[in-house]
Amino acid sequence: MSRRPRRNHSTAFKAKVALAAVKGEKTLAELAQQFDAHPNQITTWRTQLLEGAAGVFGSGSRSIRLRERFRIGRASGRCEDAACQDR
Tens-place pLDDT, residues 28-81: 999 999 999 999 999 999 999 998 887 777 655 556 666 676 666 655 665 554
pTM of the model: 0.62
| Cα–Cα distance, 60 to 20 (Å, whole number) | 27
State how far the alpha carbon of 58 is from the alpha carbons of 9, 52, 63, 71, in Å.
28, 11, 10, 22
CB contact at 8 A, 17 and 45? yes
Q: Is the pLDDT of residue 87 over 50?
A: no
The region of weakest confidence among 12-16, 24-28, 71-75, 81-85 is 81-85
